[in-house]
A and B are shown apart, each in its own frame.
Chain A
Amino acid sequence: MRVPAEGTLRAAATFVATLGVGVAAYIAIAEADGGAPACFAGGGGCETVAASSHSELAGISVAAIGIVGYVLLLGAALLRGDGARLAGFGLALIGFGYSVYLTWLELFVIEAICQWCVASAVLMTTLFAVAAARMLAYVGTEP
């Protein structure tokens, strides 16, 4: 399969990471002061997930960690060179793996689905695919 030009991959990663910053920022703001993001379908999934202990990691909001992750991925997408390719790949793999874990928690531990968390998981999966393609196809080549 033909891999898109690196510029196209970087542009896609920039777009998706920006969306990710927006989604994570919305969740973080909504969860501040004990609130929860608005779930379009109702059913209380977002409130349940927000109230769960898994919405924090070592006392830090997972949404806030998400903002940091997406900002770093945005930086990796904007920068050229092998350092950015490798860093973007590594960060996206961490984000993807952790998103898989969080989705598993939603389905089987918390037993509630928050649409915003699913949206973030989809964005992170997309970023991982783009970053992996960029790293495998272009690492070691001229920027």
Chain B
Amino acid sequence: MSEGGNGERRERLVKLGSATAFLAIVAVAVLVVVSQSGSDGGDASSIEGAAEVRAELRGIPQRGLVLGDPEAEVTLIEFGDLQCPVCKVYSEEIVPQLIESKVRGGEAKLAFRNFAFIGEESVDAAAAAIAAGEQGRGWDFVELFYRNQGAEASGYVTDEFLTAIAAGVGVAGIEKWDEARQSDRVVDQVAAEIAAAEDLGLTGTPSFVIEGPLVDGQDVLGTPGEAGPLEDAIEDVA
């Protein structure tokens, strides 16, 4: 082929290369769009937020479902149902503020109690959280569950889903956790926590209750829509 012919052919092929580059960029855009079309929660195969939860709780002691310095004189108790969508909002927007302002510094500890009233799935989830608490991952479990919560009573709280959450928060002894969550002891504890909520006259979740040196027993704080009133209550009873 002549030199001019070679030049033309090369020019044509470079144009083809440009078109290839354009198509490749379109292909990447399609991949990104497909990747972004994520699930709506409740999917055992796509547990998200483990790193966020780990960062939120890093360095704070946990015992059972109690988060914070065991010596803290004030205890803020959240009665929640892991299936409750409002609790999820609190978990993502209000609880992190409380952890940073009052729990991390040791001013108060935060206890999660199961007011599992939405249905049998809530009881299963509550037992799984308590069992995770026995291995030092209770709050991690609660927080990661909320971040992956599905639609209420839709059947997503399966053994597979609960196991994925437990594995996601680093429960080391999954078999031990599995046995514990199905044990009469833990199931009875869930029932006792529900009964405690009812005895306090709570009617919904999340509901907050406080204990401290300046409180005789427990004060019911209800469901304030922001962290401020809860922070004030901690200061008031300290």
Instruction: Point out residues on A near B: beta carbons under 8 Å.
Output: 34, 44, 47-48, 51-54, 56-58, 82, 86, 89-91, 93-94, 97-98, 101, 105, 110-112, 135-136, 139-141
Q: Which residues of A contact B12 (CB under 8 A)?
A: 140
21 contacts between A and B (CB under 8 A): A34-B164, A44-B50, A44-B170, A47-B50, A48-B51, A52-B50, A53-B45, A89-B17, A90-B23, A94-B31, A97-B27, A98-B31, A101-B35, A110-B51, A136-B14, A139-B10, A140-B9, A140-B10, A140-B11, A140-B12, A140-B14
Q: Which of B48, B52, B54 has a CB less than 8 Å from the CB of A53?
A: B48
- Cα of A53 to Cα of B35 in the assembled complex, Å: 9
Q: Are B43 and A140 in contact (CB under 8 A)?
A: no
**Interface pair A89/B20, CB less than 8 Å apart:** yes
**Judging by beta carbons under 8 Å apart, are B50 and A48 in contact?**
yes
Q: Which residues of B contact A141 (CB under 8 A)?
A: 6, 10
Complex interface residues of chain B between 24 and 38 (CB less than 8 A to chain A): 24-25, 27-28, 31-32, 34-35, 38
What is the predominant secondary structure among interface residues of chain B facing chain A?
helix
Chain A nearest CB from B179 CB (Å) reads 19
Contacts of B151 in A (CB 8 A): none
Contacts of B54 in A (CB 8 A): 44, 48
**Is A86's CB under 8 angstroms from B55's CB?**
no
Q: Is there an interface contact between A139 and B13, defined as CB atoms closer than 8 Å?
A: yes
**B55 and A111 form a contact (CB under 8 A):** yes
B contact residues around A34 at 8 Å (CB): 164, 167
Q: Is B21 engaged at the interface, CB distance under 8 Å to the other chain?
A: yes
Contacts of B183 in A (CB 8 A): none
CA distance A58 to B34 in the complex (A): 7
B182 at the interface (CB under 8 A from A): no
Q: How large is the interface on B (under 10, 10 to 19, 20 to 34, 35 or more residues)?
A: 35 or more
For residue A44, which residues in chain B have a CB less than 8 angstroms away from its CB? 50-51, 54, 170
- The answer, among A57, A94, A110, for a CB contact under 8 Å with B28, is A94
Knowing A51-B167, A89-B21 are in contact, say whether A57-B16 is a contact too (CB < 8 A).
no
User: Is A136 a contact of B28 with CB atoms below 8 Å?
Assistant: no
Taking CB atoms, residues of chain B closer than 8 Å to A56 are 45-46
Which residues of B lie under 8 Å from residue A89 when comparing CB positions? Answer: 17, 20-21, 24
Q: Cβ of B66 < 8 Å from any Cβ of A?
A: no
Bound Cα distance A51, B161 (Å): 12
In the bound assembly, the distance between CA atoms of A56 and B50 in angstroms comes to: 17
Q: Is B218 an interface residue (CB 8 A)?
A: no
Q: Are A101 and B32 in contact (CB under 8 A)?
A: yes
B26 to chain A: closest residue by CB: A94
Q: Are A52 and B48 in contact (CB under 8 A)?
A: yes
Confirm or deny: B203 has a beta carbon within 8 angstroms of a beta carbon on chain A.
no
Instruction: Give Cα distance in the complex from A136 to B10, angstroms.
Output: 10
Closest to B170 in A: A44
A50 to B: closest C-beta gap in Å: 10
Complex Cα spacing A141 to B13, Å: 10
Q: Does B168 contact A (CB under 8 A)?
A: yes
Whether A112 and B24, one on each chain, are in contact in the complex, defined by CB atoms closer than 8 angstroms, is no
Distance from B54 Cβ to chain A, minimum over Cβ atoms (Å): 7
Report Cα–Cα, A48/B17, bound state, in Å: 38
Kindly provide the distance from the CB of A6 to the nearest chain B CB, expressed in whole angstroms.
14
Contacts A90-B23, A101-B35, A112-B51 known; A135 to B17 CB distance under 8 Å? Answer: yes
Indicate the member of B23, B31, B43 with the most A CB atoms within 10 Å: B31
Most chain B beta-carbon contacts within 10 A, residue among A58, A97, A105: A97
A139-B14 CB under 8 A given contacts A89-B20, A90-B23: yes
